Amino acid sequence: MATNEGHTQALGTSSEKGHTQPEKRVPLSVAPVDEAHARPAPRSDHAPYGPLPAGRWTPPTRYLSSLASVRLPERVPSLASRSTDLLSPRALAVLVLLAAAVQQMLPSPPVTCIGIDLGTTFSCVAVFEDGEIVVIPNRAGQSITPSVVFVPASNGSHAVEPFVGDSARPTAAEMPGTLLYDGKRFIGKQYDGARVLTESVGLPFDLTPEFSTTRQQLEARLKLTMGGQPLTFAGEHIGSMIVRELRQQAEAYVGRDIHKAVLAVPVGFNRKQINATREAAELAGLEVLRMIHEPTAAAMAYGLHTHADVSIVMVYDMGGGTLDVSLLYLNNGIFEVMAAAGDNRLGGQDFNLALLQHLVREVQRRLPEAEVEGDAEVMRVLREEAGCDLP
């Protein structure tokens, strides 16, 4: 009964004006509280927990003798330290493995953002899913999509829909129209008559200057004729069609609508070119969360930011339309561009065109009487030999 008396005394016997009040005993039953949250209260002589509040559940009398034999520590540690002190190293290891297994079993958060590389000749889209980067295949099952738009010829009776990506080139071989490509070379770039004259050689469309009210500068526009009427496209308009195609591929892959994206841009782009690329994504219905340089994206894709012994990295990007070389400095997991150089007319497509011109000269030298460039069938064969897919 000593244990009962000590427990009851903790509940409190008060004196007022020298008179002792009769002690108040708490019934050994569940008081009218939420049963879902009712649990055995700690011992009242546990100083950090304070006295046992009235109206709570109290342990039955037959358990008090066993509770009195429990040896309590002089100082009650925190919950975190108590959990580690009471568990053996093997039990902790089991708990860690169990938590990791449960985490693997939980479903991944839904994909709400995609990464887009809008290239000169090819583009691609990827998502971060289940801890891995997945490059989404297009309708043809390819990981890259041609940055090409085909605009069919119109007779004026009805509007025509352009063909984008893999369907553009086969359609251009079957029906009349204009194939638009190399839009990235002119996106957000200030118009230069001499340079545009050089870059427009061999293109199936014309380049015309037009003032951009957004960037307050003269820019090149891709010009074609449809139904007897001139039609112009800005570089960001061509880019928006390609980005929309990539967005549809991503939505079909993840099974939900996507409205956010991160875009990679060449390190040689100025602020106006970057803004024009952002506008292309916005025209496709995407909110651009961030623009990152292509060399930085490449370094992060290889996980170089996770290596402590890496501080300076040189990245070269041999693309279809440009060659970029960048020197990056890694500072606390953040890449800073120290130096960059590049040429937007020194990509894989330019190599193929140079090889095509060489083949034309060789055939013309061996067959002086033949008109090589005027023969469409001969030029088609030479393009295939040179690896040139574009007319």
What positions carry a catalytic annotation?
117, 184, 294, 317
> Which of 207, 189, 188, 209 has its CA nearest to residue 198?
207
CB 299 within 8 A of CB 313: yes
Strands, E assignment, 200-333: 206-212, 217-226, 229-233, 260-265, 287-293, 312-318, 323-331
The terminus-to-terminus CA distance of the chain in angstroms comes to 103
CB 87 within 8 A of CB 313: no
One-character DSSP codes across 173-188: TTS-EEEE--GGGTTT
CB 145 within 8 A of CB 165: yes
Q: What is the DSSP letter of 372?
A: T
Tokens of residue 27, six digits: 């019934």
One-character DSSP codes across 246-270: HHHHHHHHHTS---EEEEEE-TT--
